[in-house]
Structure 1
Amino acid sequence: MKVIKNLLVLSVSAVAVNAAITLTSLVPEVSIATAYAETKTKRVPALREKVYSQLARAQKLADEGNVQEGLEVLDSIKDRASSMNSYEVAMMHNFYGFIYYNENDLVNAIASFEKVVAEEAIPESLKLSTTFSLAQLAMANGDYAKTVEYLDDWKKLNTQPIKSNFYTLKAQALYQNKDYKEALENINSAIGLAESKGEIPKENWLVLQRALYYSLNQPGNVINTIEKMVKLFDKPQYWIQLGGMYGEVGEESKQLAILETAKQRGFIKTKTEILQLSQVYLYNGLPFKAAQTLKSGVDSKIIEHSAKNLSFIAEAYVQAKDDKKSIEFFEAADKMVDHGNFQQRLAEVYINMENYDDAADAARNALDKGSLSFESNAYVALGMAQYNLKNFDASILAFEQAEKHKKSAKLARQWIKYVQKEKLHEESLKQATL
């Protein structure tokens, strides 16, 4: 049973929020003192004292909030770039990038860091970290194709075991670019890597995995992922989504069990959730629970006091064989519409209750109000009510009107013959008693 499909991951669009890259700690802290010390131990061009002192001054100004002054110091260093070695030039651009990044100027930050990795004679660690930062910054800037490109460049440089942050970042970029298949391969790698170490995958990794399975139309795998999320994180929305997915694949008994549990735990709160549970109850042959659930939602003002919702409650009570309870809801719904369909249903309910006077009145009200979906049904109800009131001529007249409608013609003819016989029988009895 497909019930309120959009309940799922249905927050698929939420993945971008849940797994988004933020501008916090994308770029590693730049320490000019550390960089200077590295040149004493590593085989890279020296970072000379005069350049070091100017870079240190620029960093100090930026750290103190004097951003413009820090940039001006860097500009003065850049004017002498022709006399600087590769490592000095790279560090200069690194500081430009760091300052721009701190000012949330991603375009200039990216341009600066690209100049860092363009230099040849720099430590591999700097090239690796900067390339990865470029991928993160491109992601934050919404350039998903470039994110993937930077990550591929980083992978070519990297000689160590790949960590999960590589796979998750690439999966997110590929997802945003709608390359769902490759994105899934990457997020699965990240999750598999964590689980192989006995670690719990991060929640937003599973959110992304779930979204990708859904986008690739793999409902069985969507269910497997949400079942894992329910066990690991036990959040209300995951219970609701799991119920929705069981409905998607036709496992109604599991859907009912999950949503019943969610209700008992107080997870069913929103309009959509209450509507879904009511429909699931009705579909699974529990109409009284369906009526009571939606009525509770209406009473608490979570669900609109609308004709549609009131008629759902009424029809559920009818299915639950509690015709009397349905009446007030049909009457309330009728007051909110211009058509006579709910009066017609009232007529049919009154007939079930053997309250034929009210049935006849409701059928006439339905016909007077008009705009009926099936006018013939109102005439049939009127005919049946009049017959039981022994108003045989009025009954025959109503069934003759019903006979004009193709949908009810055969039934109406049968009733006409039956009522005519009953009329003759009644008249014979009267004659016999004279």
Structure 2
Amino acid sequence: MMKAHRLLRAAVWLTAGWITLVASTQAATLSAPIAAKALKAKKLADKEHYQQAIDVLVPMPKRGYDQAYIARMLGIFYWQNEQLEPSIKALTIAVNSNELEAQSMWSTRHMLADVLLIDKQYDKALHQYYRLAKRLPKGNKGDKIWLRISQIHYQLGQWRKTLRGVQHYEQLGMPDAVQPLSLKVGAQLQLSQWAGAIISLKRLLLLEPDKKQWWMQLVNLEMRTKRYGDALDSLALARLQGIPFEQHDRQLLAQLYAQNGIPERAAQVMSTIKGLANNTNLLVTQAQYWQRAKAWDKAIETWQLAARRDKQYHWQVAQLMLQQGQYQAVLSVLDKVEEPEHKADVALARTRALYQLHQVDHALKQAYYANRVQPSVEAKSWIRYLKHLKRLSKKHTS
């Protein structure tokens, strides 16, 4: 709103300058006493003695052009003196008088609309702006009027009307600008117009490539619409653009690499997260990425880091070690797996490791134990196979 305040104050001074021109070219249409008052008030206002200028002009004349002209001056002086309510009343009188010539009427109505907007009388301001849009002076495209209309509808949460206002603005052939496009994106998001919002955000990024907000909204929308490849491209491009990444941004980038079938790159991105080694959840995520990438040594190393912080992950370490043939090492890791639900699986894992280490008797004991804890086809198969090996071994010995 502060930006709007500065814009409107600039508009006020422009109108005040317009008064100077009118005073010299149309003073003859005023009655002599009123013309004298107008000139005196203007000199006071030029010195920023607004209240004194107002005192000169009130009470305003009752009839005709004198009243319209003085009402317009008072509206401006009241505004400059930060008196919104009397400014609105005076400008309304001037506009309703029908005494002003077309260009003067349009400028005065514009001033009234601006002051109503500053006073947050949005519906009344909209009424005036729409009237301004219907009767534009020659050479005025109306782009600023339609932008203001769009802003007010957005302020009121009227999303479809916001989009219609921006559409009018764009149909004037105006070049892309941040303000109308940001209004358009906001309204499209509220209306769940995801595809349109993506297009608008890409236009915004051409204007503000360094603004993180636009990049993240684009990525989120591309993910929402299941365009994961596009989301990855956008987020990676944002990183190359130098957009600062927080921890959650890096996690998102890693997630997108994984979703797009590049788990090794996902794990590498995770390595750039500060405090990774002290965060169990992040370590688990990275270990899973390494595992999906079939980078077994790195996966084992990362699972081990996670297991140091939470012993439940010793089981993941053991499974990968067994898979990679680290039979001697896995035995000590299996000793650390304490969860009751893994008892049978741990016994079977020991069975396999001991068998590979040619410790058939110990392997058979573990197979029996696994079958007692939780009978299974696998356990029974190991028992039959290992007993067969023992018989063969006795025959060979004898």
Map 1:168-179 onto structure 2 (within 5 A).
168-179=147-158
| TM-score, structure 2 as length reference | 0.80
After superposition, the Cα gap between the structure-2 partners of 1:241 and 1:427, relative to the gap in structure 1 and judged at 3 Å, is: same
After superposition, the Cα gap between the structure-2 partners of 1:354 and 1:61, relative to the gap in structure 1 and judged at 3 Å, is: same
**Alignment partner, residue 254 of structure 1:** 230
Q: What are the superposed Cα offsets for residues 399-420 of structure 1, whole Å, 9 maximum, x if unpaired? A: 654x4xxxxxxxx612221222
Over 6 Å off, 4+ runs: 44-47
Alpha-carbon distance between aligned partners in 1 of 2:223 and 2:305, rounded to the nearest angstrom:
31
Q: What are the superposed Cα offsets for residues 125-144 of structure 1, whole Å, 9 maximum, x if unpaired? A: 34322332343344445444
**Alignment partner, residue 407 of structure 1:** none
Percent of aligned pairs with the same amino acid: 16
**Alignment partner, residue 344 of structure 1:** 315
Between 231-240 and 178-187, report the one with greater CA deviation: 231-240
After superposition, the Cα gap between the structure-2 partners of 1:266 and 1:57, relative to the gap in structure 1 and judged at 3 Å, is: closer
Q: What are the superposed Cα offsets for residues 62-115 of structure 1, whole Å, 9 maximum, x if unpaired? A: 2xxx6xxx3255245425656973322331232112221xxxx65665455445
**Alignment partner, residue 5 of structure 1:** none
Does structure 2 retain, via aligned residues, the 8 Å contact 1:23–1:140? no
| 1:378 Cα deviation after fit | 6.7
**Alignment partner, residue 6 of structure 1:** none
Alpha-carbon distance between aligned partners in 1 of 2:218 and 2:40, rounded to the nearest angstrom:
59
After superposition, the Cα gap between the structure-2 partners of 1:120 and 1:363, relative to the gap in structure 1 and judged at 3 Å, is: farther
Map 1:308-327 onto structure 2 (within 5 A).
308-327=281-300
Aligned length, in residue pairs: 382
| 1:159 Cα deviation after fit | 5.6
Q: 1:87 aligns with which of 44, 58, 69?
A: 69
**Alignment partner, residue 12 of structure 2:** 27
Superposition CA RMSD, Å: 3.4
Q: What are the superposed Cα offsets for residues 138-196 of structure 1, whole Å, 9 maximum, x if unpaired? A: 4445444343223123335546564111111111211222221121121122123125x
**Alignment partner, residue 388 of structure 1:** 353
Does structure 1 retain, via aligned residues, the 8 Å contact 2:60–2:70? no
Does structure 2 retain, via aligned residues, the 8 Å contact 1:363–1:379? no
- Residue 4 of structure 2 aligns to a residue whose secondary structure is coil
Does structure 2 retain, via aligned residues, the 8 Å contact 1:168–1:186? yes
Alpha-carbon distance between aligned partners in 2 of 1:308 and 1:385, rounded to the nearest angstrom:
28
Q: What are the superposed Cα offsets for residues 222-265 of structure 1, whole Å, 9 maximum, x if unpaired? A: 22223333445544645554444333323333333444444444
| 1:279 Cα deviation after fit | 0.8
- Residue 21 of structure 1 aligns to a residue whose secondary structure is helix
Aligned-partner residue type, residue 176 of structure 1: Q
Map 1:173-188 onto structure 2 (within 5 A).
173-188=152-167
Q: 1:150 aligns with which of 93, 107, 128?
A: 128
Q: 2:45 aligns with which of 59, 63, 73?
A: 59
After superposition, the Cα gap between the structure-2 partners of 1:123 and 1:320, relative to the gap in structure 1 and judged at 3 Å, is: same
**Alignment partner, residue 39 of structure 1:** 26
Task: Say which one has the larger Rg.
Answer: 2
Q: What are the superposed Cα offsets for residues 29-68 of structure 1, whole Å, 9 maximum, x if unpaired? A: 3145334224237x66677343124412431442xxx6xx
After superposition, the Cα gap between the structure-2 partners of 1:382 and 1:284, relative to the gap in structure 1 and judged at 3 Å, is: farther
- Residue 12 of structure 2 aligns to a residue whose secondary structure is coil
- Residue 157 of structure 2 aligns to a residue whose secondary structure is coil
After superposition, the Cα gap between the structure-2 partners of 1:143 and 1:329, relative to the gap in structure 1 and judged at 3 Å, is: farther
Alpha-carbon distance between aligned partners in 1 of 2:69 and 2:86, rounded to the nearest angstrom:
20
After superposition, the Cα gap between the structure-2 partners of 1:78 and 1:232, relative to the gap in structure 1 and judged at 3 Å, is: closer
**Alignment partner, residue 163 of structure 1:** 142
**Alignment partner, residue 329 of structure 1:** 302
After superposition, the Cα gap between the structure-2 partners of 1:53 and 1:165, relative to the gap in structure 1 and judged at 3 Å, is: closer
Aligned-partner residue type, residue 136 of structure 1: D
| 1:289 Cα deviation after fit | 0.5
Does structure 1 retain, via aligned residues, the 8 Å contact 2:60–2:71? no
**Alignment partner, residue 413 of structure 1:** 376
Which protein has greater RCO, CA pairs closer than 8 Å, 6+ apart? 1
Does structure 1 retain, via aligned residues, the 8 Å contact 2:109–2:132? yes
- Residue 338 of structure 2 aligns to a residue whose secondary structure is helix
**Alignment partner, residue 409 of structure 1:** none
